[in-house]
């Protein structure tokens, strides 16, 4: 189980993205390990910029998606707490025109109130195309009707 406080079912993670940006961009969770979570995203008409290369915003959305979901899986009490993204920075290292990119989130630090994630995005030739760092804050869930 590693760092995860909740058992991880890839099929359920993929169902959660229906009707969201995750589905629109074609992001699919593919692998989970003791201390990492992976997802892939196509480089196609949905994720390319007009110049024909992967849009930096699509890479950022992939990084934030993986890191945020990883944080959800690390929360002690999901009925009372939820992570929210408070900072994302990403460096784009190489362009991609087609195929798939795969992002892998690993924790830098998992504190009681802040989670810091390192997300590396690689292309179909296993070349690093982007490096991101995501910080999520763990907040108390608001009660219904309040």
Q: Strands 114-123, 81-92: parallel, antiparallel or unpaired by DSSP?
A: unpaired
**31 belongs to the catalytic site:** no
Of these residues, 64, 87, 120, 140, which one is catalytic?
Answer: 64
Integer CA distances (angstroms), 76 to 83, 112, 138, in order? 11, 9, 10
Residues 6+ apart with CB under 8 A from 35: 2, 3, 106, 107
Integer CA distances (angstroms), 24 to 40, 47, 90, 140, in order? 13, 9, 21, 29
CB 105 within 8 A of CB 67: yes
Active site residues: 64
């Amino acid at each position: 189980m590693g760092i995860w406080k909740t058992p991880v079912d890839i099929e359920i993670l993929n169902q959660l993205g229906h009707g969201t940006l995750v589905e629109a961009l074609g992001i699919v969770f593919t692998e989970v390990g003791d201390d990492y979570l992976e997802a892939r995203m196509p480089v196609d008409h949905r994720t390319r910029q007009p110049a024909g290369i992967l849009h930096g915003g699509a890479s950022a959305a992939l990084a934030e998606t993986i890191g945020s979901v990883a944080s959800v899986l690390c929360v002690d009490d999901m009925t009372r707490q939820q992570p929210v993204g408070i900072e994302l920075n990403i460096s784009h290292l190489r362009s991609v025109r087609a195929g798939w990119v795969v992002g892998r989130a690993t924790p830098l630090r998992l504190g009681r109130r802040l989670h810091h994630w390192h997300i590396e995005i690689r292309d179909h030739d296993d070349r690093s195309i982007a490096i991101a760092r995501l910080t999520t804050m763990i907040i108390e869930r608001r009660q219904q009707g309040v």
